[in-house]
Chain A
């Protein structure tokens, strides 16, 4: 190549490099400046908006943006936020595929000014890269929210004593999936009243199957929580697919789930269900269909949560108007376990110019009934009506700020199909529940990243089918275990145990 050619090449390369490094500087600057700019108004965060300098906020949400949401974002939502905290808020919707990765990652790394929700896994990864703003100095700006959201929920989003995300939501969610959600109408039809043991559950299946052979039994592939009472004495709580904790034991021991005797017993139980037909044969290849069947009233049982009897009833009643759903536990004597009552938590990107204002916005989401109604349901008279008992009738099906995200038992409204005793039961669901001893622990997977990727592969290919009873434990397990070992399960467990023990010891002090 000619001299000029080389020169131009060099020039081009330097342009490219400078463009990249400029971007880095930009985000680095944002990073440095944000904690420094801890504004003096931190104490009077709840004052009227007019005292504050104007600010711009960008809130990223995932899912489809409904037409009504689009309208409100430009009118009422905008006005209210402007009035309350003198900020111009803009909502951006991304597909769910970009949650905790994809474009969210790009936006964080390129130093964009925005906030969105996160889970603890993504938080740990992003904080390690310095992509989240440390919100500790601004927590006071969320004082109203703090009254309506559990203290433990805040702890779940702390790392090294620093608050990296502000939790929203407060709903009874202990024992998620530990109960069996039963179609009570079918149960009564076959002459039974309740289900309190596995034997009764299988009896229910047999009888209903005889009467309605077209119905599937269990509309899921994972019953390890609801069947807990039948295959182990421990009160297991899963940290992830591979690791469980025994909440009954007061120690820091983690359990390698797939290598445990409990897994063997569970897999054999599930194999029985699969052979018997309680889990439909198509489940192995078409999992989404299970939920579809459940929603269209073609299944007898599902895994239960506190809210599912009324959340689910709304969907099923379209297909089966008189469907009734009731939660049952297949045993007793083990306290319900909770991970915390939050729905999700908002973080603020490291490059945000005014992190405090973001926190003030989160505060609005859970501040009082009036604002909650506005963000979750819209405008009274246009989007919803309330009867004298405060029961809700929605006039539009368009979703606004997703209500699962905001759901707070202090504010949420029920429609008039939900019986009073159920609401009482729902609100008392968490009574006597314990917070998991692992709540607030966030695993840093950097040292075992490769192992984790391989293990996830082994899980999908080998362990999940054994766990769901699609293949026989005795024949498939030896090979699966071998794969698990060669993927590095021992190293992974050892690392997890090490981090967990350190964290646990720190918590005890």
Chain B
């Protein structure tokens, strides 16, 4: 009796999940098929699940004129993601550890400072001033990740994680003569591995998808990331097509518009899509563990 009930419920859930995942999948399928279609047929007939008039023209257009640039931007993105994630995780866990140490007097003050920036921000202008005039982050590689080194939300997530580690372990280490460095690197980091992977994933996604920092701080093409390159191309194509170009100047170019957008989407999403299934278990685990113990 109970098993059939369970079975029914299970089937129901599976159907729900299946429907949901199909809904999630549809845009991707449309993007891939759109990127492989001819521009004119997309315009005339709209998108479809199967490419309309299969062609690789759009990719040829993207790679043909910009192959070298795209490749460079790709490696820059990878570099920024790796460097950024590594340093962000280090900074975040260090801050989180300090805030989580029970005996530390100023832990609440530090926590409040971080929390304060969640509620109030100085705005774009002071931020830009600080980054360029004081920290001189413009046109430098570090400018592409340093401003994002501490995500307060992830820091608190990590703090909670550290707090969930039994205090007795830390105490016994202290009795054995371990300092904070030792405790942090030899106990907290290994025990907090799941949380670490979770925030790493969040950071990696953020660095990979970011085009705001290059837009604001970079003018040297060598430092363009793939997302910014795509943003740049799209912005210019759209401008040329909008007719404003005619008012400003009268430039005439015929870029493959809709299909180009789709091809760019595919190009930028691809690495994340490939990586995700392998890392997904950490994501789920991290959130579940956090929810039980947090």
Contacts and interface: CB of A to CB of B under 8 A. Distances in A.
Interface of A: 1-2, 4-5, 8-9, 12, 16, 19-20, 23, 26, 63-65, 70, 92-99, 103, 106, 109-110, 112, 119, 282, 286-289, 291-293, 295-296, 298, 305, 307-308, 311-312, 314-315, 343-344, 402, 404-405, 407
B288 interface: no
A462 to B, nearest CB: 20
A312 B232 contact: no
Nearest to A102: B215
Given A289-B43, A296-B40, 20 more contacts: A2-B109, A5-B109, A16-B122, A19-B126, A19-B129, A20-B122, A20-B129, A93-B221, A95-B215, A99-B239, A103-B216, A106-B124, A106-B128, A110-B125, A288-B257, A292-B256, A293-B43, A295-B253, A298-B40, A305-B250
User: Which of B242, B252, B253, B257 has the most C-beta atoms of chain A within 10 angstroms of its own C-beta?
Assistant: B252
A282 B112 contact: no
B235 A292 contact: no
B116 A9 contact: yes
Nearest to A303: B246
B124 A8 contact: no
Interface string B106-120: 101100110010000
B232 A289 contact: no
B264 to A, nearest CB: 14
Contact of B235 (A5, A97, A106, A289): A97
A20 to B, nearest CB: 5
A405 B249 contact: yes
- Most B CB atoms within 10 A — which of A63, A94, A298, A308? A63
Nearest to A20: B126
B129 A343 contact: no
27 contacts: A1-B112, A2-B108, A8-B109, A19-B126, A20-B126, A23-B126, A63-B236, A64-B232, A93-B219, A95-B231, A95-B232, A96-B236, A96-B239, A96-B240, A97-B235, A98-B215, A110-B128, A289-B257, A291-B252, A291-B254, A292-B43, A292-B257, A295-B253, A296-B254, A311-B252, A402-B249, A407-B249
B254 A119 contact: no
B43 A23 contact: no
B239 A343 contact: no
In the complex, which range does the number of interface residues on chain B fall in? 35 or more
B250 A95 contact: no
The 6 closest A-B pairs by CB, nearest first: A404-B249, A96-B239, A295-B254, A95-B235, A288-B241, A23-B129
B191 interface: no
A242 B231 CA distance: 32
Q: Which of B231, B239, B249, B254 has the most CB of A within 10 A?
A: B249
A473 to B, nearest CB: 23
A20 B129 CA distance: 8
A311 B250 contact: yes
B126 A119 contact: no
A356 to B, nearest CB: 24
A344 B241 CA distance: 19
A187 B126 CA distance: 60
A286 B43 contact: yes
A430 to B, nearest CB: 15
B81 to A, nearest CB: 22
B169 to A, nearest CB: 29
Interface stretch (B10-18, B130-138, B276-284): B130-138
A68 B201 CA distance: 39
Contact of A97 (B44, B125, B239, B243): B239
Residue of B132, B133, B241, B254 ringed by the most chain A CB atoms within 10 A: B254
Nearest to A8: B109
Given A19-B134, A288-B241, A315 B252 contact: yes
Nearest to B43: A289
Interface string B217-239: 00101000000000111011011
Contact of B236 (A64, A291, A295, A308): A64
Most chain A Cβ neighbours within 10 Å, of B116, B239, B256: B239
A402 B130 CA distance: 33
Contacts of B43: 282, 286, 289, 292-293
B99 to A, nearest CB: 14
Contacts of B129: 19-20, 23, 110
B25 interface: no
A407 B40 CA distance: 32
B221 A65 contact: yes
Interface in B268-290: none
Nearest to B106: A4
Contacts of A282: 43-44
Contacts of A405: 249
B121 to A, nearest CB: 10
B248 A344 contact: yes
A63 to B, nearest CB: 5
Contacts of A291: 241, 243, 252, 254
Contacts of A20: 122, 125-126, 129
Contacts of B248: 119, 343-344, 404
B251 A106 contact: no
Contact of A315 (B109, B126, B232, B254): B254
Contacts of B257: 288-289, 292
Contacts of A103: 215-216
B55 to A, nearest CB: 14
B242 to A, nearest CB: 7
A134 to B, nearest CB: 24
Given A65-B221, A296-B254, A344-B248, A4 B239 contact: no
Contacts of B256: 292
Contacts of B40: 292-293, 296, 298
B279 to A, nearest CB: 32
A109 B124 CA distance: 11
B31 to A, nearest CB: 17
A291 B39 CA distance: 12
Nearest to B257: A288
B241 A106 contact: no
Contacts of A298: 40
A234 to B, nearest CB: 22
Contacts of A19: 126, 129-130, 134
Contacts of B233: 64
A291 B238 CA distance: 12
B175 to A, nearest CB: 30
Contacts of B232: 64, 95
